[in-house]
Chains A and B, each alone.
Chain A
């Protein structure tokens, strides 16, 4: 009988053994060696063991009796030191086991990120029963807290398990959303909020700087300085194939042990299976392909022709109550399309990826009932052309009549008791009654029935009921939706971001039922602005949602070069600044133009030179003039009492103070101020967004001027006596605009919409004024920093080409 030796007792080797003994119990004399002091158990069920939902005994797949009854010799708790291929023996402590055929199934080891402190007691990987028991022990201590580094499948299952055992759990993930390999942002967002509801703290974009403690783990320190207390730190940042036996044996090893279609290594008598193998440049971490490999290997050993092929994979998370599913290919390809379905109320998100009339990928969250049906289609490559329109609704909806495709007909066909507005429990009959009673506009229906008055996502549906009931008599409301991604207006979106505490773009897309995967150039900059204005401390500005000028902190010109404008506070400069500007202009061959905002524009700068010229200007003490932002541009001044024989106040000084207060802040559209030292108004304050005219008795503040596409004189807001009051009123006014304005509405447009009376009413209340004043200060604590200096030190490489292939030989 041939001698078969197996190194490793994991999922893959267990399955291989089963196939062999089932098919041909007497084919081999088998010995299995395992470094763990036990045989095969179902490793993927360790998470339920950790969570207390299963016991270890329940997940054993092969116990001692099984090995005995199949005449399999075991060497458990023994580490292999080497393999002698010439003599065909495996060497373990004090023993040699000879083989005819050898299987290496050593699996993988957790990747321990080599940060300082990674070797402290209390830092563990998550691989085997010992790790699991260590976590269970740690959780049993009072007020125990755990930090999980790595928000992938394994890390989240562990986090949920530890939380169920009562630990304080923080998950650190270095990407922007959880499970970023399997999920898109929308599903990652839903998962994160579900985990947070269980009391798990999730920190994304979190990079660990060090693990600290005196003799054992005490805390984790992030790169931004945040410290998180921890009794244990779990590393689930990935796995590495355990291929060292392969290397020691001298068989071919790349990233892992290389095998062919029959799982054979470069030595014809040595095979490898599971996570320790590399096949056609792929390595493996999920169980399904391991089982395929096990079957191929068993057949090969038994002389049956078989061949391993990579097939489509799907992922499910084993966290009770978090239903998610991900399958198929989201990677490179041509001509792909998405179908997206969102139901904010039920917290459902589904996305299908289609290529050449075939489903190639699916992500589902909240409702995964149809996942197998979709997965089957992905595997079979079913042509979905005929059911494309209804595909996302799943198998139950196929074969429906064509009338279901016309939304108006579908609404007309709804019974009167069908619920239209889930938030307020309003059914179609309530709405049609209100319409019969004279409510002929959306606002009327909202006022009478409350339908669509809360989350607003059924607005389109309510309008359709109106259209069906009134026919041509119904006119769709004048306020336009933000863009084609949503039916909501800007005002709706701003209100809902505040009311529902939406703090990320994926949150907005999901909760407000966006129709596109990730917005469009119209809504993305607007949503980005609303989020950073409403949640300055929580939301992180997204450069990819900004127009080029705000992303590159310079103004793009028609030839693709940029213009650069340093700030000149209140229009005041010095000889030294002018020398620095002149030197920079010469160095970068700039055209020099004096702007209308009392400063100097350097035109014709190449993108790759931007960090260089910024650095030159920074070194001379200058910062970005934000001449490219929807934010504070300039505060224009006259020379005031310093020099002018008519000046009544220090208009230059006040202008500089205001500019130093307001610079760096983002606003719905650009913001220009001016301060004139007397009513002669040399700084043209009465056509600015905010203008201040100095008079003998103090300061006249007026707002809402325009001197662009429209021409408009400012309207009086308030007269005050002191500079401190100017600061208070102007700051509060700017903050009110920041919190309420529609993106791309200049102040004059916003004022005409909300009415100056309402603004005066808000600002006249000293308490409200101070609240706005303080909110502005909070925002400035984040955003008042020079973006040029920031990009020079942190992002300079983004201004260079990724690669230069012009020198590559033409073949």
Chain B
């Protein structure tokens, strides 16, 4: 694990998202509640829509382009759609957001 500081928790609104540019492409950081965040690929498994621009609800994200819904926990598409987005380890420490760079570099390699 190589936890890398990517910014302040407060930089992401609750039920909002921001992206981080990495060697594995853009990663979306989602904040579902006061104290809960998830990280996934920003690209929808359907047509590559920017998931960080979707509406966050419960622990799910709905793609802004064609309304595919993904679990932020497993990355699996919900409902009748079949597909999966990559998820990455992210955590909060002292109100800072930490992303595991090893996991990202592993998927970039």
Q: Chain A interface (Cβ within 8 Å of chain B)? A: 175-176, 180-181, 184, 281, 330-336, 338, 516-521, 524-525, 543-548, 551-552, 556, 558, 560, 797-798, 801-806, 808, 810-811
Contacts and interface: CB of A to CB of B under 8 A. Distances in A.
B90 A811 contact: no
Contacts of B29: 802
A330 B35 CA distance: 7
Contacts of B62: 520-521
Contact of A332 (B22, B36, B48, B94): B36
B65 A556 contact: yes
Given A330-B36, A518-B57, A802 B101 contact: no
Given A335-B73, A521-B67, A544-B16, A805 B57 contact: no
Given A518-B57, A521-B62, A805-B99, 18 more contacts: A180-B34, A330-B34, A332-B37, A332-B92, A336-B73, A516-B57, A521-B55, A521-B67, A543-B16, A556-B64, A560-B49, A801-B19, A801-B21, A802-B20, A806-B22, A806-B23, A810-B109, A811-B2
Contacts, number: 125
A556 B7 contact: no
24 contacts: A281-B94, A332-B36, A332-B37, A335-B74, A336-B59, A338-B58, A518-B57, A519-B57, A520-B58, A520-B62, A521-B57, A521-B62, A521-B69, A524-B57, A556-B64, A560-B48, A560-B53, A802-B12, A802-B20, A803-B6, A805-B22, A808-B4, A808-B23, A811-B105
Contacts of A181: 34-35
Interface residues of B, number: 54
Contacts of B58: 338, 516-518, 520
Interface in B1-56: 2, 4, 6-7, 11-16, 18-23, 26, 29, 33-37, 47-50, 53-56
Contacts of B93: 281
Contacts of B35: 181, 330-332
Contacts of B12: 802
Contacts of B11: 797, 802
Nearest to A183: B34
B65 A558 contact: yes
B20 A805 contact: yes
Nearest to B62: A521
A805 B16 contact: no
Nearest to A184: B33
A330 B19 CA distance: 23
Nearest to A795: B13
A524 B55 CA distance: 9
A207 to B, nearest CB: 13
Nearest to B53: A548
B18 A798 contact: yes
A550 to B, nearest CB: 11
Contacts of A797: 11
B57 to A, nearest CB: 5
A464 to B, nearest CB: 26
A389 B90 CA distance: 31
A181 to B, nearest CB: 7
A508 to B, nearest CB: 14
Contacts of A338: 58
B49 A805 contact: no
A803 B11 CA distance: 11
Given A516-B58, A548-B53, A556-B65, A331 B36 contact: yes
Nearest to A800: B18
Contact of A556 (B53, B69, B73): B53
A806 B14 contact: no
Contacts of B57: 516, 518-521, 524
B79 to A, nearest CB: 11
Nearest to A545: B55
Contacts of B7: 802-803
Contact of B15 (A336, A516, A518, A811): A518
B108 interface: yes
Query: Which of A333, A552, A558, A802: most chain B Cβ within 10 A?
Result: A802
Nearest to A176: B14
A543 B6 CA distance: 23
Contacts of A330: 33-36
B50 A560 contact: yes
Contacts of B48: 560
Nearest to A559: B48
B21 A806 contact: yes
Interface string B75-104: 000000000000000111110010101101
Given A801-B26, A802-B6, A547 B91 contact: no
Please list the 4 inter-chain residue pairs (A to B) with the smallest Cβ-Cβ separation, ordered nearest first: A802-B18, A803-B6, A544-B15, A548-B53
Contacts of B101: 805, 808, 811
A335 B73 CA distance: 5
A233 to B, nearest CB: 24
A201 to B, nearest CB: 23
Contact of B108 (A331, A521, A552, A810): A810
B92 to A, nearest CB: 6
Contacts of B26: 801
Contacts of A552: 53
A336 B35 CA distance: 14
B54 A548 contact: yes
A276 B43 CA distance: 46
Given A544-B15, A547-B64, A810 B20 contact: no
A558 to B, nearest CB: 7
Contacts of B34: 175, 180-181, 184, 330
Contacts of B73: 334-336
B20 A332 contact: no
A797 B23 CA distance: 22
A405 to B, nearest CB: 23
Contacts of B14: 176, 544
Contacts of A560: 48-50, 53
Given A332-B37, A548-B64, A805 B104 contact: yes
A551 B17 CA distance: 12
Contacts of A810: 23, 105, 108-109
